[in-house]
Structure 1
Amino acid sequence: MSARTYSLLGLWPIIHRWKRLVLAAVGFAALVSLVVALLLPNIYKSTAIFYPTNAVYPTNTETSDLDRFITEQGNKREISNRPEDLDRLITIGNSQPVAEQIILKYNLHERYDVGTPGNELDDQDALEEFTENLDIVHNERDAIELTFLDEDKKLAARIANDLMGMIDSINQQLTLENRRRVLDLYRTRYTYLNKEYTRTKGALLTARKRFGIYGMDRESRFLAQEIIETQADMYRAESAGDAGRAAALRRSLRALTQADGGSVINLENYVQGADSISTLEARFEDLQLRLVQAQAAFENAELALKGRVSSLYVVQKAIPAARKSQPVRWLIVASSVLITFVLSVIVVTLIELYRRNLGANRRTYTEDPVLTNTL
């Protein structure tokens, strides 16, 4: 036997026979859903958007390289947001202590009609209602969106902004110890560079006095020129038979070329000390630059710690919404009508099938003589 096929077009005769019942059910659903939709209060949504900022203090001081936070001008570099920073702020915003402070501040027990503060069950009901109206998510742009829903659009905006302020305050308290530790690292770095700078400066001065190299412009050129000219004059004096002048020039040449000749600037000391002085000068210039950067970084960090710099970069404060976000009344009515229509069709179809099966069973008993005699 071939299986019976069904078609949606076959439902039309059934719907037509039961059209009054179906229309009555759909009309009743439309009326009830319309009344319910009109009675539902308007819900407004306010959203605040912010980033966690680590421009001044990193949170992980054990793995932080201080040179990463200093540019050539001594300013801080902006650090990209890390997942742990975002998760910490979201966790703070969803924490129970923050929710309880907001509930008590705005007397949400009365607003949510859940009893009085202090009662354990009433507090739990208020907390659950508050949690349902709060949404804190990490969006695709690495920012945090804090959204709060309420019937009063101005209250929703105030609560969202207060929540953002509490997140900032608690986050600063949690990271305050790390900030102090980072400040100590800056201080230690600055102190070390200052000592090295002073020591290198002293070593450079000592080396210059010892070797007679003071870093004057074209010092080596003048020394070589003087040696060559003195030697040439000495040869001319010897050729002219001027023994006294030649002896004087010989002493001058010895003073210019040998360390024990009596001249402060001489070739022997210059050759011996040129490399050492060059190394010390390079070291001194490097320490001088790093010291200036470290001092600027330490002063900025100290000022920021005393000034309680915000740990959030606010992109958008919550403002009262111009339009409601809930409920979508036409969607409520349309979905109710559609669901009622579908259920009505299913019910009348089942009734028709039941009647057909019942009629078929009765004909079977009537046409079969054995069953008829038995009955």
Structure 2
Amino acid sequence: MPNVYKSTAVFFPTDPQTTDPDRLVEGGKLELGGRSEDLDRVITIGQSQPVAELLIREFNLYKHYKVGNPGDDVAENAVLNEFSSNLRIVHNERDAIELTFQDTDKQLAANVANRLVEVIDSINQQLTLENRRGVLGLYKTRYDFLNTEFERTRQQVVQARRRYGIYGLEQQGRYMAREVVELESGLREAEGSGNSNRAAGLRRALSALTAPDGQNLINLDRYVQGADSLNLFTARLINLQDRLVKAQSEYETADLTLRARISSLYLVQKAYPATRKSQPIRWLIVVGSMLLTLAASIVVITLLELFQRTQRRLAVGEGL
């Protein structure tokens, strides 16, 4: 009988919500204690046929178990049955998962057990990966929309400034108010002193600054007309800028966390090649064989004794 070796890996499953990188970035804590549904999910993944077929192909267990070639129904059933019989995944009393694989090759047993833990972890992470990709798409769509709206509004602000000659609402307002007051004061002084030439010049300057058809680039009438529009565009631009910065931050965070692969399992003990065989227990076989032989001998001797007694009784009866 060949020696059989066992290798065991021990790990705690975690709640996928607590390993979501988005929550960890926001300050969430990684909870190592798995719920009953987390334990059941991990065990179900480990015992599933796709996982078994993956490891069978990866370690070429068709050849190792000597069951035939891949693709043959008999070989497929035989290798799956052999693999399943050598695998044991249980939930122990400490709420941990014990994954044990046994084989005649102790190194292979350890490698299969460790690889199986990695596959379980990967599949467990995939359960939320597609949803997170969908969320990332929403972040990207929102960021692109806000970026487009921000650029369009910025162009509207630039066009409004050029159209109305407004480049600084508060500064230009103070400047024009001061200029109007100074021009009107100078005009009154020129008219009072009888300086008609100076008065005419000041009147033209005041008209250019305040009249609707004034030739000044910075004109009070256009300033009043454009102030409301520019205020509206500026307020929207500021709002879009704040939203865009937030959307960009959320998108970058989601993208980075999606690329991060945070393990959904907390590995307590990696599987190592066994230092001694788990079966067969030869001394137990020897003792069992001795007891079985003793019991069989007693039964045979008893039957022979009964048979001989019966023969003697028949011989006595015939003699009479």
Query: Is 1:54 aligned to 2:24, yes or no?
Result: no
The amino acid of 2:9's aligned partner reads S
Match of 1:149 in 2: 100
Match of 1:208 in 2: 161
Q: Give the SS at the match of 1:260.
A: coil
**Separation in 1 of the partners of 2:178 and 2:58?**
87
Match of 1:237 in 2: 190
**Separation in 1 of the partners of 2:250 and 2:168?**
31
Match of 2:81 in 1: 124
Aligned residue runs from structure 1 range 77-116, under 5 A: 77=26, 86=38, 91-102=44-55
Q: Give the SS at the match of 2:90.
A: strand
**Separation in 2 of the partners of 1:88 and 1:252?**
84
- CA contact 1:148–1:159 (8 Å) conserved in 2: no
The amino acid of 1:134's aligned partner reads I
Aligned residue runs from structure 1 range 217-296, under 5 A: 218-295=171-248
- CA contact 1:146–1:160 (8 Å) conserved in 2: no
Q: Give 1:283 deviation, angstroms.
A: 1.6
- Sort the Cα spacing of 1:120 and 1:224 in 2 relative to 1 into closer, same or farther, 3 A: same
The amino acid of 2:234's aligned partner reads E
Q: Give 1:76 deviation, angstroms.
A: 6.2
The amino acid of 1:253's aligned partner reads L
Q: Give 1:276 deviation, angstroms.
A: 2.1
How many residue pairs get aligned? The number is 255
**Separation in 1 of the partners of 2:166 and 2:114?**
66
The amino acid of 2:237's aligned partner reads F
Q: Give 1:200 deviation, angstroms.
A: 0.8
RMSD after superposition: 4.7
**Separation in 2 of the partners of 1:135 and 1:88?**
12
Q: Give 1:221 deviation, angstroms.
A: 1.7
Q: Give 1:146 deviation, angstroms.
A: 4.0
Q: Deviations over 1:263-322 (max 9, x none)?
A: 2222222233223212211222332344455456556766777xx64263554464358x
- CA contact 1:50–1:312 (8 Å) conserved in 2: no
Identity %: 40
- Sort the Cα spacing of 1:100 and 1:79 in 2 relative to 1 into closer, same or farther, 3 A: farther
Q: Give 1:127 deviation, angstroms.
A: 1.6
Q: What TM-score results when the alignment is normalised by the length of structure 2?
A: 0.58
Q: Deviations over 1:5-34 (max 9, x none)?
A: xxxxxxxxxxxxxxxxxxxxxxxxxxxxxx
**Separation in 2 of the partners of 1:54 and 1:204?**
41
**Separation in 2 of the partners of 1:177 and 1:47?**
28
After TM superposition, the structure 1 stretch with the greater mean CA deviation from structure 2, 162-171 or 115-124, is 115-124
**Separation in 2 of the partners of 1:229 and 1:316?**
82
After TM superposition, the structure 1 stretch with the greater mean CA deviation from structure 2, 210-219 or 261-270, is 210-219
Query: Is 1:195 aligned to 2:148, yes or no?
Result: yes
The amino acid of 2:217's aligned partner reads V
**Separation in 1 of the partners of 2:191 and 2:151?**
51
Q: Give the SS at the match of 1:213.
A: coil
- Sort the Cα spacing of 1:93 and 1:287 in 2 relative to 1 into closer, same or farther, 3 A: farther
- Sort the Cα spacing of 1:294 and 1:231 in 2 relative to 1 into closer, same or farther, 3 A: same
**Separation in 1 of the partners of 2:91 and 2:171?**
68
- Sort the Cα spacing of 1:129 and 1:260 in 2 relative to 1 into closer, same or farther, 3 A: same
Q: Give the SS at the match of 1:264.
A: coil
Match of 1:310 in 2: 261
Q: What TM-score results when the alignment is normalised by the length of structure 1?
A: 0.51
Structure 2, unaligned runs of 5 or more: 69-74, 279-320
Structure 1, unaligned runs of 5 or more: 1-40, 57-68, 70-74, 328-375
- CA contact 1:109–1:115 (8 Å) conserved in 2: yes
Match of 1:167 in 2: 120
- Sort the Cα spacing of 1:271 and 1:313 in 2 relative to 1 into closer, same or farther, 3 A: farther
**Separation in 2 of the partners of 1:135 and 1:103?**
21
The amino acid of 1:55's aligned partner reads P
**Separation in 1 of the partners of 2:262 and 2:112?**
19
